[in-house]
Structure 1
Amino acid sequence: MQANTAHNADDAQDTPALEGIRVIDVSRVLAAPFCGQLLADMGADVIKVEGPKGDENRGWPPFNESGQSCNFMSVNRGKRGITLNLKTERGRELLYQLLEKADVLIHNYLPEVAAPLGIDEALFRQRFPHLIVCGISAFGAHGPMRNRPGYDSLLQAFSGIMGFTGERGGKSVRSGVSFVDMTTGVFAYSGVLSALMRRVRTGKGSNVQVSLLETAIALLSYHGVSWLEAGVLPEKEGSGLWNQVPYQAFQCQDKELATGALNDATWRRMCDAIGRPDLRDDPSLATNAQRLERREEVIGIFAEAFRHDTAAAWTERLGERGVPVAPMHTVADALTHEQSLANQMVMQMTDQDGRSLRLLGMPFKIGHPASFARRPPPRLGEHTDEVLQELASLSPQDLAALRAQEVI
């Protein structure tokens, strides 16, 4: 993807931050593969190891024109892909050969499933003392539920997040995005980088433990501390926030927009925007605490005002007064908006069939233009021969024999 502004030529030639780091990614679905993708985007050589049938999310729709799962493609670009049957002794031996020349292993197998596949963190500490092993689970590495499977929606429910998501008086609602999965991938990435820094100082690898549960609990943030310290449980507030008024979505003539005043100065500007200086100057509404006491009245006034013009008109009117505002976009609106494109959040590459492929950009940038992996998400087993010849010194005859034995 072309940068839309000129940058210093030296920046474009910078060595990628993680060049020279090799990662073996034996994970599936979303959270752990996203960690691997972030590492690949930063220049690591990430080798995705799949069983003969492939990562389960290869079968999840929708599919693009090449028949590839959009779910799989969203978290696996930049990787080389191989198949290894870790249920076979020879498959496990080959995995260990790869680990001899690797810096990081990412997996998300439950403890009772991992051991028969040769993924044993205690063994790795002895055999590969340099290796950073990042294990990602649903409910954490300890406790009575450590061997239970779990997915994003289940942890939204278990953590309490789903319980206060939705409209007042309504049923609990799952967040529209798999934010627990994706944030777990980011936390895993952070843990791996921290372990790499530790290895620079000590020369030793580490075990990094991350889970959907720990992510979801951490994301409770002020909601969790509000209960721990003040005994206040969050309630369903729809698009709003229980401790700020006004701060929510409002219906305009054509569609909704989200806006709000998180401080008293913005409250006064917001009152000016809707033509209500009387509200601005009302001493009984001067602070957020006072507005909370008259919540329904305040929300009703603003709701009535916004109905009389379009979202675009209100967005301009509020924006020019410095009031935070955002129209209620669809995904299509967001991904075609000039602001998203200016920040390189849609990237282009060519897939194995020569077709143009569009994927989401990196959420953080290092250098100009921003770095990201140029390799498209791998087809199942696409790089098996290449990787095993390179890292395990196998001959074409060896590879043919392994295929006959259903090891690769």
Structure 2
Amino acid sequence: MASLPLEGLKVVDLTHSAAGPFATSILGDLGAEVIKVESPEGDMTRTWGYVIRDGVSTYYLAMNRNKRVIRLDLKRDEDRRRLYELVKDADVFIENYRVGVAERLGVDYETIMRINPRIIYVSIKGFMPGSKYEDYPAFDIVIQGMSGLMSVTGCENGEFVKVGVPITDMITGFFAVIGILSALRIRDRTGRGLRITVPMLDSAIYVMGIHILYYLFTNVVPKPMGTKYMSVVAPYQAFRAGDGKMFILAIGNDRIWRRFCEVIGRPELADDPRFRTNPDRVRNQGELERMLQEIFMTRDRDYWVRLFLSNGIPAGPVYDVSDLVRDEYVNEYVLTEVNVPGLGRVKLVRNPIRFDNESPGVRYLEY
């Protein structure tokens, strides 16, 4: 792109691990100048996942593109002064230290605002400061458990499981970006900076709203349902085809249901009193699942996906990562390559936002 939307925005990033780095990567994608300040030991995620070379891991690269990286020991006066110089003309300052650490290092809200009253000061925390949980350490898996997210994830009649990506870190990162962009608009009107706090637990519970409201009205505790969608809509789940591969079928309304019954050669199911309406199908979901699974075992996955998509019925294959990176669409629109000194050509995922059909892309990858 000739011009990115956040060009001219300077972000001083003291975050580590995942939630903060994910947020600042988005800002970097959108054109902000992000200066990632690491301790002399480096971000802990440099050793997470596959370590490509000493101090560089796949996890770290995925979370830290479009940033300039420096290392400062903020316990030393000289390095703290260097940080203060960066802050003087910055627009955003973001940290995710445990409660009390920013104060000990001299990078707390009051100190940073005295240096630059126009700065947006962002704190990502596990829990709200001042709460009974404020001193608890928080990683994604802790928050997945405490938020209830893990309790609705997993196979039916099985144990709870975590989501396969650090989803609560990412949700928190998204909310941090929303908060920053909103605060910049406020600053446009007032001329002054703003303090933003984004707790991970609160962010995760926000996306649990459909389950919380369901429980409050019914007093029924939501449970894991595998690939099914609560007691909301059916069939809306994964099925296994005759070749052992899985696909998703999403019958979102009664109109699609009637078309689906015609397409699979079972038109009589459309008016079967057990399945005629969505509430009927939800009520008799187990029986319907067994019936459809028997039908789907007669053909391979690709047959069913092609048949459904050609008839306007929402469906798609269940991919693993090796399938994903071979997909034609993914290679054309999602993946991009960047040349990284010392690492060669590295494939990364593009930012999905298109501005006049152009993706912001990955401009550089420092480590």
What TM-score results when the alignment is normalised by the length of structure 1? 0.86
Q: Secondary structure at the match of 1:235?
A: coil
Asked whether the 8 Å contact 2:350–2:362 carries over to 1, the reply is: no
Q: Secondary structure at the match of 1:111?
A: coil
**CA apart distance, 1:84:** 0.4
What is the alpha-carbon distance in structure 2 between the residues aligned to residue 295 and residue 369 of structure 1?
43
**CA apart distance, 1:271:** 1.5
Query: Is 1:135 aligned with 2:134?
Result: no
Q: Secondary structure at the match of 1:209?
A: strand
Q: Tell me which residue corresponds to 1:177.
A: 165
Query: Is 1:238 aligned with 2:226?
Result: yes
Q: Which of the residues 243, 247, 253 maps onto 2:242?
A: 253
Q: Tell me which residue corresponds to 2:276.
A: 286
- Aligned CA RMSD, in angstroms, stands at 1.6
Q: Tell me which residue corresponds to 1:317.
A: 307
Q: Tell me which residue corresponds to 2:351.
A: 362
Aligned pairs (5 A) from 1:75-90:
75-90=63-78
Asked whether the 8 Å contact 1:347–1:361 carries over to 2, the reply is: yes
Query: Is 1:208 aligned with 2:206?
Result: no
Q: Secondary structure at the match of 2:279?
A: helix
Q: Which of the residues 29, 52, 55 maps onto 1:41?
A: 29
Q: Tell me which residue corresponds to 1:104.
A: 92
- Alignment-mate amino acid for residue 26 of structure 2: L
Q: Secondary structure at the match of 2:185?
A: helix
**CA apart distance, 1:256:** 0.9
What is the alpha-carbon distance in structure 1 between the residues aligned to residue 301 and residue 48 of structure 2?
36
Aligned pairs (5 A) from 1:51-62:
51-62=39-50
Aligned pairs (5 A) from 1:299-338:
299-338=289-328
Residues 236/320 of structure 1: CA separation in 2 closer, same or farther (3 Å cut): same
Q: Tell me which residue corresponds to 1:187.
A: 175
**CA apart distance, 1:125:** 3.0
**CA apart distance, 1:347:** 1.3
The one of the two structures with greater contact order (alpha-carbon pairs below 8 A, sep at least 6) is: 1
Per-residue CA deviations over 1:304-332 (Å, capped at 9, x if unaligned) read 11111100000011111211111110112
Q: Secondary structure at the match of 1:24?
A: strand
- Alignment-mate amino acid for residue 142 of structure 2: L
**CA apart distance, 1:183:** 1.7
What is the alpha-carbon distance in structure 1 between the residues aligned to residue 317 and residue 343 of structure 2?
37
Residues 142/364 of structure 1: CA separation in 2 closer, same or farther (3 Å cut): farther
Asked whether the 8 Å contact 2:350–2:360 carries over to 1, the reply is: no
**CA apart distance, 1:156:** 0.8
Query: Is 1:295 aligned with 2:285?
Result: yes
**CA apart distance, 1:247:** 1.2
Q: Percent identity?
A: 34
What is the alpha-carbon distance in structure 2 between the residues aligned to residue 237 and residue 349 of structure 1?
40
Q: Secondary structure at the match of 1:285?
A: coil
What is the alpha-carbon distance in structure 1 between the residues aligned to residue 149 and residue 26 of structure 2?
26
Deviates more, 1:333-342 or 1:161-170: 333-342
Unpaired runs of at least 5, structure 1: 1-11, 380-408
**CA apart distance, 1:192:** 0.7
Deviates more, 1:115-124 or 1:191-200: 115-124
Moved over 6 A (4+): none
**CA apart distance, 1:155:** 0.7
Q: Secondary structure at the match of 2:189?
A: helix
Q: Secondary structure at the match of 1:257?
A: strand
**CA apart distance, 1:259:** 0.6
Query: Is 1:115 aligned with 2:103?
Result: yes
Asked whether the 8 Å contact 2:305–2:315 carries over to 1, the reply is: yes
What is the alpha-carbon distance in structure 2 between the residues aligned to residue 313 and residue 236 of structure 1?
29
Asked whether the 8 Å contact 1:112–1:147 carries over to 2, the reply is: no
**CA apart distance, 1:126:** 3.3
Equivalent pairs counted in the alignment come to 365
Q: Secondary structure at the match of 2:138?
A: coil
**CA apart distance, 1:151:** 0.9
What is the alpha-carbon distance in structure 2 between the residues aligned to residue 45 and residue 62 of structure 1?
28
- Alignment-mate amino acid for residue 120 of structure 1: D
Q: Tell me which residue corresponds to 2:62.
A: 74
Asked whether the 8 Å contact 2:153–2:161 carries over to 1, the reply is: yes
**CA apart distance, 1:66:** 8.2
What is the alpha-carbon distance in structure 2 between the residues aligned to residue 90 and residue 65 of structure 1?
30
**CA apart distance, 1:90:** 2.1
Q: Tell me which residue corresponds to 1:398.
A: none
- Alignment-mate amino acid for residue 71 of structure 1: Y
Unpaired runs of at least 5, structure 2: none
**CA apart distance, 1:65:** 6.5
Q: Which of the residues 350, 360, 376 maps onto 2:339?
A: 350
Query: Is 1:375 aligned with 2:364?
Result: yes
Q: Which of the residues 269, 277, 289 maps onto 2:267?
A: 277
**CA apart distance, 1:348:** 0.8
What TM-score results when the alignment is normalised by the length of structure 2? 0.95
- Alignment-mate amino acid for residue 313 of structure 1: Y
**CA apart distance, 1:228:** 3.0
